Amino acid sequence: MKKTLFYFILLLQIQYNFAQPHSKPIPANARPKLVVGIVVDQMRWDYLYRYYDRYCQGGFKRLLNEGISCENTFIPYTPTVTAAGHACIYTGSVPSIHSIVGNNFYDYRLGRSVYCSEDKSVKTVGAENDNGKMSPRNMLTTSICDELKLATNFRGKVIGISIKDRGAILPAGHSADAAYWYDGKTGNFISSTYYMNELPKWVQDFNAAKNVNKYYEKDWKTLYPISTYIQSDNDTNAYESKPFGDDQLGFPYDLKKFIEKKNYGAIRNTPYGNSLTLDMAKAALLNEQLGKDSITDFLAVSFSSTDYIGHAFGPNSIEIEDTYLRLDKELEAFFIFLDKNVGKEKYNVFLSADHGAAHIPAFLEKHQLPNGGIVSSKVEADLNEALKNEFGKDSLCIGIWNYQVYLNRERINTLNLEYKKVLKHSINFLQKNPGIEQALKYEDLQEAMLPAELKEQIIKGYYPARCGDIMVILKPGYIDDEYGGKGTTHGVWSPYDAHIPLLFYGYGINKGKVYNKCYMTDIAATLASLLHIQMPSGCIGNTIEKVIK
């Protein structure tokens, strides 16, 4: 009896052992084969749910339902613009440290205005123009891609791709193998001698195919019957821009005419700019053999057309809804492509945005919501006139960039004017503008009657040599309306500009949602933890613990 019981228990133990999964322990330094960073330029967080019912299962829903969504992710600084956003996502830092304070800014040390990724020491590769004279040298810190390079002794490949140069260059970092961006003059993806002396043959072949014309042949019709776009405003509105010409007032848009005119830049204002970007990303993955060995590679992709379309038509347009429905399908196909060519669960994806967007003031007015705008060029001209009337000298204000007023310090000094008096008079003048909530000098920020969090956002956006003398804070719902009432923009601290999506999916990632407040700076820190590498050199973010298994 005892022997029978012994064998019975032994048999049960054997069956139990065979039933258990016998997976090997995961090494402490295990990494995915590939990380794909996706930045959707100007994607508001609410777009994840505004169009959710119309998304397919394999695009945004795949990330939302099979990955993890950090629902309350915010940009921790102001101004909220493209270059600063891309730099922040990949460095985990803020403008006060990485120094990319805007797309354009005035540099007091150089005594001139500067474009964020300009580099006059390099040459264009892939076109006979100056559109490739770019590099990441203006960014002072490393990116997460640089840290991956360091961690793999520069064996892991890093490639950045975008329609916008800054969308490819800043994420890829200083030590990238390549960054490619689109040249609207030639219809080519180009680079600079910072990375290479000539384009690889696969890029030359890609450019020779002139895929832009293939997309122009399709024209731009709505993906579904236009009557079904119930989440959007009317098709045509007086407050929308006309990027395809004054004769094109709404759907369908004739794009074929751009083939004959060789207008390769117009693709930016269509969803096909995103398609072209993904075509290039797929070609890069295949030809550069990304994710094919045991050393982690990084592909940084930024979709720029969402920004161009958003600026032109606003966040309540049929154009922007159709763009996101199309992007959703593109993402579904891209993830299937990654499954096939890298392997499901062998790659990691994160998706976020560099900033959001404000509603068009005229749209808000139609619905009796607070709105308005200032025109910074007019404010600049009026301020210079007011300063001339007070001090008898002109050109005391250099300009207004990123909601900051730059005074001509050198001229003020040369004219023996008292800087403090010029500054005070400027502030008094600006505060009379009905669209400006407050105008203040940075030295007075701590004593200003502002919420502590807003003060912190302003401080984190301040890099002395590249920022102005006076910070201008607009009223909620107000924009810098340089477009003459057509279209919209972004750049302020308000949630419509600063609340962004953040989703992680794939290797080592949990499923679910995170509802506590997170920040854009946490993305690079979380990736560093996932990859078991050092955080970027200026990173101030924290790992979002619930993201990682």
Q: Locate the DSSP E strands across 249-396.
A: 297-303, 347-352, 372-374
User: What does the alpha-carbon distance between residue 170 and residue 299 come to, in Å, rounded to a whole number?
Assistant: 13
Name every residue whose Cβ is closer than 8 Å to that of residue 391 and which is 6 or more positions away in sequence: 415, 417, 421, 422, 425
Assess contact for 163 and 270: CB atoms under 8 A.
no
Query: Does 543 participate in catalysis according to the annotation?
Result: no
- Name 444's Cβ contacts closer than 8 Å, sequence gap at least 6: none
Q: How far lies 379's CA from each of 228, 307, 355, 418, 509, in Å?
A: 42, 26, 25, 22, 48
Q: Give the helix/strand (H/E) hosting 310.
A: helix 305-313
Contact at 8 Å (CB) between 547 and 70?
A: yes
Structure tokens at 254: 């004739």
Q: Which residues of 68-100 are buried (b: 16+ CB within 10 A; e: fewer)?
A: bbbbbbbbbbbbbbbbbbbbbbbbbbbbbbbbb
Closest CA to 162 of 145, 177, 135, 183: 183
**Three-state SS sequence of 439-503:** EEEHHHHHHCCCCHHHHHHHHHCCCHHHCCCEEEEECCCEEECCCCCCCCCCCCCCHHHHEECEE
3-state SS assignment for residue 38:
strand
Interatomic CA distance for residues 398 and 468, integer angstroms: 10
Task: Pick the catalytic residue from 80, 82, 186, 306.
Answer: 82
Tokens of 22: 């016998």
- The single-letter code of the amino acid at 480 is D
Residue type, 86: H
Q: Which amino acid belongs to residue 507?
A: Y
CA dist 206 and 227 (Å) reads 37
220 CB-contact burial (10 Å; exposed 0-12 / middle 13-18 / buried 19+): buried
In whole angstroms, give the CA distance from residue 156 to residue 144. 12
d(CA 361, CA 202): 45
Q: Which of 110, 104, 106 is nearest to 166 (CA)?
A: 104
Separation of alpha carbons 481 and 377, rounded Å: 10
Whether 359 and 371 have beta carbons less than 8 Å apart is answered as: yes
* Calpha distance 83→304 (Å, rounded): 12
Q: What are phi and psi of 7, to 5 degrees?
A: -65, -35
Q: What angle do CA 124, 130, 135 make, to 5 degrees?
A: 55
Residues tagged active-site: 82
